[in-house]
Structure 1
Amino acid sequence: MPADNASRHEGSPWAPEAITRAIEPVISDAGLIVEDVTVKGGNTPTLQILVDLPSGTDAVDLDVLAEVSQQVGEVLDNGLLASSGAYELEVSSPGASRPLTQPRHFQRNVGRVIRVVSEDEDFTGTVLEADDEGIVIEPIKPAPKKGMKDKVLDPVRREYADIRRAKVDIEATAAARLAAVKDAGDAAEESMEDPAQSGLTGEEA
């Protein structure tokens, strides 16, 4: 969480650490974790809470998110923020545009295309594996001309210590998935057209 956000409310019920402690049991019971807590000031403060799945690549279920939001509101209204007046509560999951700063973030994005910036490199690639120390990534070399296919290079390993910035490339991820679907469809059509690949003999065909 931003340092200025935490220090500004230190010692008050609005302190992000205090709010995190108050809501963690509810979040944990839903199989989620607290990713970040931010308080934005104003006549009516806005409390923004980011929650996420601890592992896997699935998205947070919207129904679960709605239920958690209601439960978090009840916990705070009846406890920590009972005497704090009106406020707006926003409970959401991190979007695909969030910076990847923790090993868990990379693990949550296995199979997606990310942009990696290090001291010596700036490239995009598909995350194949991610552990607590680094990632195995399949770099993608952009096509030299429009209409040509990008070139997929051999997988390489990069340690988190060497990565300065990383972020999901939303457009590239979507394009890669569309290409995979198209390739699968083309392969299926070829299999249907070729009796040998479909397991049929010449007489059966």
Structure 2
Amino acid sequence: MSTTLNDRLHVLLEPLAVTAGVDLEEVTLSKVGGRRVLDVTLDADGGVDLDTVAELSRAFGEALDGPEGTAVLGDGEYRLEVGSPGVDRLLTLPRHWHRARTRLVKAQLGAGGEVTGRVLESDEDGVLLEIPPVKGRGKATERRLAYAEIAKARVQVEFNRKGLDDADEADDAEDVDDVDGVEDADVEPDEA
């Protein structure tokens, strides 16, 4: 099996991403308006911050402009674009499903049909979805899908996202209560 240029670029850049504690999701070299554009997509649990993107952009540029990078990419000009996956990214790996916990997803099934549900949990073999009731009537149900059953799946955009678990809500409330950077303590009033 022959390796593609994108595969060789992935092998060159992945150790830098791993060192920074992020996953190198995708490397794609394409031509846009006669110029070569190298798109690099990074992700991590909790997302990738802008400082990490900037650090890795510099590190990737140095690697690509060095002897190993020139051997893979050649001497021609290119534009490097480093970022995180968009909301329309396909969920193809177990870690994608793990990172989509509490999110609403639409999955097209290999046997036909589709399922829309909220990701409750996932593991190396499949995902447990909470399926909302039809037309808001009845109770939500749960359905376990093996990844092998899923032909294609994407996170759905929600403007009023529901589904945060108690720990997430507590974290959100703690962030609001702790605006001054000082942990609040339960203090009883002095008795006179």
Question: What's the TM-score bracket when you normalise by the shorter of the two chains?
Answer: 0.7 to 0.9
Q: Which residue of 2 aligns with 1:140?
A: 132
- CA distance in structure 1 between the partners assigned to 2:95 and 2:153 by the alignment: 13
Percent identical among aligned pairs is 33
Deviation at 1:151, TM superposition (A): 5.7
**Bigger Rg, which one:** 1
Q: Which residue of 2 aligns with 1:44?
A: 35
**Aligned partner of 2:60: which letter?**
V
- CA distance in structure 1 between the partners assigned to 2:140 and 2:163 by the alignment: 19
- The question of whether the paired residues in 2 share the 8 Å contact of 1:125 and 1:140 is answered with yes
- CA distance in structure 1 between the partners assigned to 2:78 and 2:35 by the alignment: 5
- The question of whether the paired residues in 2 share the 8 Å contact of 1:52 and 1:60 is answered with yes
- The question of whether the paired residues in 2 share the 8 Å contact of 1:114 and 1:169 is answered with yes
Q: Which runs of 4+ in 1 moved over 4 A?
A: 149-152
Deviation at 1:22, TM superposition (A): 1.6
Write out per-residue CA displacement over residues 123-168 of structure 1, whole angstroms, 9 at most, x where no aligned residue: 311100000111111002353xxxxx57651222111111122110
Q: Which runs of 5+ in 1 are unaligned?
A: 1-5, 144-148, 185-205
Aligned residue pairs, count: 162
**Aligned partner of 1:122: which letter?**
E
**Aligned partner of 2:129: which letter?**
I
Q: Which runs of 5+ in 2 are unaligned?
A: 170-192
- CA distance in structure 2 between the partners assigned to 1:122 and 1:75 by the alignment: 43
Give me the TM-score of the superposition, normalised by structure 2. Answer: 0.73
Matched, 1:74 2:59: no
Deviation at 1:120, TM superposition (A): 4.7
Matched, 1:21 2:11: yes
CA RMSD of aligned residues (A): 2.8
Deviation at 1:43, TM superposition (A): 3.5
- CA distance in structure 1 between the partners assigned to 2:146 and 2:49 by the alignment: 31
Query: SS of 1:116's equivalent?
Result: strand
Deviation at 1:94, TM superposition (A): 0.9
Give me the TM-score of the superposition, normalised by structure 1. Answer: 0.69
- CA distance in structure 1 between the partners assigned to 2:133 and 2:42 by the alignment: 34
Write out per-residue CA displacement over residues 50-72 of structure 1, whole angstroms, 9 at most, x where no aligned residue: 1112xx3x121121111111111
- CA distance in structure 1 between the partners assigned to 2:81 and 2:141 by the alignment: 42
Write out per-residue CA displacement over residues 28-77 of structure 1, whole angstroms, 9 at most, x where no aligned residue: 11101211111112532111111112xx3x12112111111111111111
Q: 1:179 to 1:160 in 2, by over 3 A?
A: closer
Alignment of 1:55-94 (within 5 A): 56=45, 58-79=46-67, 80-81=69-70, 84-94=75-85
- CA distance in structure 2 between the partners assigned to 1:102 and 1:111 by the alignment: 17
